[in-house]
Amino acid sequence: MQSKVDTRYWRFCAYMGPLFVAIFYYCWGVLGHNFPPFQPDAPAAEVAGWFREHRNGVRLGMVIAMSAAPLYGVWGYALAKVLEQSVGGERPADNILVQLARVGAAWTVITLLVPTSFWLTAAFRPDALPEWMIQMLYDMAWLLIDLAYAVTTVQLFALGIGFMADKRATPLIPKWLAWYGIWVGFMFIAECIMPYFFNGAFARSGILNFWIEFLIWMGWVPVLTYYVLKAITRIEQENAAG
Amino acid sequence: MQLVEQAKSGQPTRLPGDPGVWVFIIADMGAFALFFLIFTVGRIGSPSLFETSRQHLDVTLGLLNTLILLTSSLFMARAVEAARAGVRGAVVRNLGLTILIGLGFAVTKMIEYRAKGAAGIGLTTNEFYTYYFVFTGIHFLHFAIGIAALAMMLAKARRDVLDARFTVWIESVGCYWHMVDLLWIMLFPMLYLQRTG
């Protein structure tokens, strides 16, 4: 482990996680009519009608959501810095778990940016688009944002396994939280059945594939941030103690 | 059993395995509890559909699966006991039997899935079969991960020192394997046996 760790900017980056969740919830979720989404069996006219009536709200929501998406990556890099201190070793930055946690966060940003651009496309010239096409863009965005779960699972698993490798008597990140993250990554696999359902628990708007999947992930972000901030303080104390 | 003895003797008890693994287990069982609730709500809404669909499930294979998992779990518990005693040969033998017997579950499940496929029954046939395939499918994924974890433990048991760290590992995997067992014990009566009055 390095004898002196430069923790400048770590806290700032760590705060970006909860900020991302708050912005994304409102802009993508509320303004974009994605929290909860239209049921897959909602008529195309209903989806298209909503986009036509609320085009400016959706545009604003998606533009801000796209601008805020990189915050998830910034947050993910702060987590990876703390993870380096958990895994330890001579060159912790080269540890494969740290690298996977970083790319998992970075790839997740892509999976947020691309579907938000589809929703934005649907709101760009909704009068010129047939109803079925607006519905198709809405479906396409949802299929991508849900089925790209595995990208975030890479981050969740790498963080979980890495935080558990901490040799300290009291680990920087509690083991229960490491396990919880692994569980969240594991639960995401339920998204694989989402394309088969147009209503009910397994549809994109259902209790499992929407409410549980999104809430366990969105809840994980601020909770982990709280413990990461505490961990940064401990790393600084360990530094001061030499 | 060790926990019971500890409790009787007044010694402080501890959770077997890594305490963190229990977070996973409890969260996972919470998810399955929700699945059971979803199933029950569906069943109240369409009792006759659920009953006629249930009658097409093979109760014998379901019971066989239950016995396979229970027997496999017995050898798992014996492997953990052997690890605590530091007897490598018994750990390897019992883990091997746990895996071997456990794999029987995969065989019977494949037979069942194939039979359903041949009868034209699939994920979207009706609400009952949706739950049947989704819940048993997710359970099967748990099972497959369990087999992989057991295989890893078998390799560790052959190679590593059987110290306190190894005991925590094998207890953690054992707890997970028992959870796979427990979830099936809940799924079997709910899907295969529960009649609609």
CB contact under 8 A, B27 and A183: yes
DSSP letters along A68-132, please?
A: HTHHHHHHHHHHHHHHHHHH-SSSGGG-HHHHHHHHHHHHHHHHHHHHHHHHHHHHHSTTTS-HH
Residue B87 to chain A, least CA–CA distance (Å): 27
Residue A56 burial class via C-beta count within 10 angstroms: exposed 0-12, middle 13-18, buried 19 and up: exposed
Scanning the structure block, which residue is given the tokens 């039997």? B97
- Whole-angstrom Cα distance, residue B1 to residue B85? 14
Q: Which of A41, A175, A217 to mutate: most B Cβ within 10 Å? A: A175
Alpha-carbon distance of A73 to A76, in angstroms, equals: 5
Q: Give the gap in angstroms from C-alpha A176 to the nearest C-alpha of chain B.
A: 4
Distance CA B80, CA B83 (A): 5
Residue A165 reports pLDDT greater than 60? yes
Q: How far is B172 from chain A (nearest CA, A)?
A: 12
User: Searching chain B, which residue's CA lies closest to the CA of residue A198?
Assistant: B124
| Residue A178 structure tokens | 């490491």
Between chains, do A189 and B141 touch, taking CB under 8 Å as contact? yes
Question: CB B38 to CB A208 under 8 A?
Answer: yes
Gap between the Cα atoms of B154 and B145, Å rounded:
14
Asked if B130 and B123 touch (Cβ cutoff 8 Å), the reply is: yes
pLDDT at residue B3, as a whole number: 53
Return the pLDDT at B64.
97
Q: Please check whether residue A113 is in contact with residue A67, taking contact to mean a CB–CB distance below 8 angstroms.
A: no
Q: Which residue of A has its CA nearest to B145?
A: A186
What are the structure tokens assigned to A63, written together? 């533009």
Residue A6 backbone dihedrals phi, psi, to 5 degrees: -85, 105
A189 part of contact set with chain B, CB < 8 Å: yes
Residue A176 is nearest to which of B23, B34, B134, comparing CB atoms? B23
Q: Comparing C-alpha atoms, which of B55, B74, B77, B56 is closest to residue B66?
A: B74
pLDDT tens-digit profile, chain B (197 residues): 555 565 566 565 678 888 888 999 999 999 999 999 999 999 999 999 999 999 999 999 999 999 999 999 999 999 999 999 999 999 999 999 999 999 999 999 999 999 999 999 999 899 999 999 999 999 999 999 999 999 999 999 999 999 999 999 999 999 999 999 999 999 999 999 988 76
* Any B CB within 8 A of A197 CB: yes
Identify the pLDDT of residue A216: 94
For A194, name the nearest residue in chain B, comparing CA atoms only: B134
Q: Is B197 exposed, middle or buried (0-12, 13-18, 19+ CB in 10 A)?
A: exposed
Asked, as a colleague might, if the bond just before A36 is cis with ω within 30 of 0, I would say: yes
Asked whether the beta carbons of residue A200 and residue B28 sit closer than 8 angstroms, the reply is no
pLDDT at A1: 47
Contact B141 A197 (CB under 8 A): no
| One-letter identity of residue B116 | K
Distance, in Å, from the CA atom of A145 to the CA atom of A147, rounded to the nearest integer, reads 6
Chain B residues with a Cβ under 8 Å from any Cβ in chain A: 18-21, 23-24, 27-28, 31, 34, 38, 123-124, 127, 130, 134, 137-138, 141
Contact B31 A212 (CB under 8 A): yes
Q: Is the pLDDT of residue A3 over 80?
A: no
Q: Which residues contact A100 (CB under 8 A, 6 or more apart)?
A: A154, A155, A157, A158
Q: Are B28 and A183 within 8 A, CB to CB?
A: yes
A158: tokens are 């790498």
A211 touches chain B (CB under 8 A): no
The answer to whether the CB atoms of A179 and B21 lie below 8 A apart is yes
- CA-closest candidate to residue A87, choices A76, A100, A74: A100
Among the partner residues A180, A197, A202, nearest to B27 by beta-carbon distance = A180
The residue of chain B nearest to residue A203, with distances taken between CA atoms, is B130
pLDDT digits (tens, 9 = 90+) for A75-120: 999 999 999 999 988 899 899 999 999 999 999 999 999 999 999 9
| Block residue for tokens 């399955």 | B32
Instruction: Calculate mean pLDDT across residues A126-155.
Output: 97
CA of A74 to nearest chain B CA: how many angstroms apart?
Answer: 27
- Kindly report, residue by residue over A206-221, the tens digit of the pLDDT: 999 999 999 999 999 9
Q: Is the pLDDT of residue A53 over 80?
A: yes
The residue type of B48 is: S
Q: Is A176 within 8 Å of chain B by CB?
A: yes
Question: What is the model's pLDDT at position B195?
Answer: 84
pLDDT digits (tens, 9 = 90+) for A180-199: 999 999 999 999 999 999 99
Is ipTM over 0.90?
no
Q: How far off is chain A from B17, nearest CA to CA, in Å?
A: 12
* Total CB pairs under 8 A between chain A and B: 47
